[in-house]
Amino acid sequence: MARLKEFYRDTVIKQLRDQFNYASSMQVPRISKITLNMGLGEAVADKKVVQHAVEDMTLIAGQKPVVTRSRKSIAGFKI
- Write out pLDDT tens, residues 57-67: 999 888 898 88
C-alpha dihedral (11, 14, 19, 25), degrees to nearest 10: 140
Classify residue 45 by its DSSP letter.
Answer: T
Task: Assess whether pLDDT exceeds 60 at residue 79.
Answer: no
Structural domain spans, the chain: 1-34, 36-79
Prediction pTM value: 0.57
